[in-house]
Amino acid sequence: MIITKKVLRNVSLTAHPAGCRRYVQDQIDWVLTHAKQSKDANYPTTDGSNLPKRVLVLGGSTGYGLSSRIVAAYAGNADTINVSFEREPSEKKTATPGWYNTMAFEKQATLDGLKASSVFGDAFSNEIKEETAKRIKEEMGQVDLVIYSLASPLRNDPVTGQTYRSVLKPIGKSFNALSVDLGCDEVKQATIEPATEDQIVETVKVMGGEDWSLWIDYLLEQNLLAENAMTVAYSYIGPKITYPVYREGTIGKAKEHLENSAAALTKKLEKVNGKAFVSVNKALVTRASAVIPVVPLYMALLYQVMKEKNIHEHCTQQIYRLFLDRLYADKAVLTDEKGRIRVDDWEMLSDVQAEVEKRWALQQEGQPLVQGDMDGVVEEYEQIHGFGFSDINYDEDVDPRVI
């Protein structure tokens, strides 16, 4: 079939196998280049010898999780297991990009002598936790690092069977702000009604730290965490301008819960001399972030400002810095006063934020976005679904089942 991009309300319904393969290969190549370079102004260098060798990535098929897997494998020679939720392809329907990415990554990693496999299914369920434990025992014995990078709209509680849904809403009062859609750079007014009490509780159930803790409890109980094992979950803070819909909204409550879970997990991990961290990462275009109201407009301005200052990073660059300059650097792990790792440090630089605010004030409803990098945001969104690569022939008839 001819696979074309189809985006509905900032959600891509299709993905291109050849483009996803290209995307994964580009990320691998970036890591290999930087891991080999002897000196780079922005990035630390290591021979990778102290990086973890057996890594479990929960949500490792796209976005920050995929980058975590790629950095673990290609900067540290790690064997990896991914757990993610995917739709497989059929003759007439494309797979999720996560499925294509995973197939492409595992093929290449295997060729390069690394073990790489996946457990596809609902990471919140007991069955998938058990299947993953079995896989770890068979393939690795134990793991040295567990990355928690799930972003999901819902969670079925494995004990009660209740379904919780996460929402991206402000708390207390409605929020009016300018926004843009990915398909069109016209600035529009967005109004988001506040969440109900139940929606706040449910969002915390889905995106808070409960499931992360269940994973770590279970892996500890099964003796699958190696001595000095670490676990890291990803969070976001962002600028004041997005506080009502992010940090002070329902998702912010969930992130607070996630962040508070790290201390309790570190306590539990004392058994194996391990540690739990939350890493606050930069705002980047992923399948999850594209659907947050107002955030695409912020990202378009942020990308432009950071590119002008030559400090823009993509997911893989962020994770490379997280692994090499924070988690496994030859020094104590650098955290903020709340114990969080901050690789959003460049995003939050005061001159970057001041410039973004200045440009935000220039935006007008009904007008095209000005002084921002909407093209860059759209290009990245396309590429994470395998589209927009100039040397891929998108008119070619391809079998969506073949990667």
Residues that bind ligand NAI (CB under 6 A): 59-65, 83-85, 98, 122-124, 149-152, 234-236, 281, 283-284, 286-289
- CB nearer to ligand NAI: give 48 or 97: 97
DSSP letter (8 states) at residue 368: B
Give the Cα separation of 403 and 401 in Å (integer): 7
68: amino acid identity, one letter = S
Q: Which is nearer to ligand NAI, 128 or 226 (CB)?
A: 128
- Of 74, 100, 78, which Cα lies nearest the Cα of 14? 100
- CA 208 to the chain's CA centroid: 15
Q: Closer to ligand NAI at the Cβ: 226 or 283?
A: 283
Concatenating the DSSP letter of every residue in 247-303 gives: TTSHHHHHHHHHHHHHHHHHHHHGGGT-EEEEEEPPP---TTGGGSTTHHHHHHHHH
Q: SS3 for 210?
A: helix
Q: Which C-beta is closer to ligand NAI: that of 226 or that of 286?
A: 286
Shortest distance, position 381 Cβ to ligand NAI, whole Å? 11
Residues 6+ apart with CB under 8 A from 390: none
**H helix or E strand, kind and range, residue 190:** strand 184-192
DSSP-derived secondary structure for 310-332? T----HHHHHHHIIIIIITSSSP
Catalytically annotated residue among 148, 246, 298, 320: 246
Tell the smallest beta-carbon distance from residue 313 to ligand NAI (Å): 11
Residue 291: CB minimum distance to ligand NAI, A? 9
Tokens at 357, concatenated: 């605010």
DSSP string, 89-149: -BTTB---HHHHHHHHHHHHHHHTT--EEEEES-TTSHHHHHHHHHHHHHHTSSEEEEEE-
CB of 46 to ligand NAI, least distance (A): 24
| CB of 124 or CB of 389, closer to ligand NAI | 124
- Minimum CB separation of residue 296 from ligand NAI in Å reads 11
The span from the CA of 275 to the CA of 277, in Å, is: 7
Nearest partner of 216 among 313, 308, 146, judged by Cα: 146
CB of 9 to ligand NAI, least distance (A): 15
Residues in the chain, total: 403
Nearest to ligand NAI of 286, 383 (CB atom): 286
Minimum separation from the CB atom of position 85 to ligand NAI (A): 4
Asked about 246 being catalytic, the answer comes back as yes
Can you say whether the dihedral through the CA atoms of 346, 348, 352, 356 is positive or negative? positive
Helix (H) or strand (E) segment spanning residue 155: strand 154-156
Shortest Å, Cβ 27 to ligand NAI: 13
- Would you say 114 or 377 has its CB closer to ligand NAI? 377
- Tell me if 128 sits within 8 A of 83, measured CB to CB: yes
Q: How far is CA 370 from CA 169, 312, 358, 362, 373, in A?
A: 26, 19, 11, 7, 8
Catalytic residue numbers, as ranges: 246
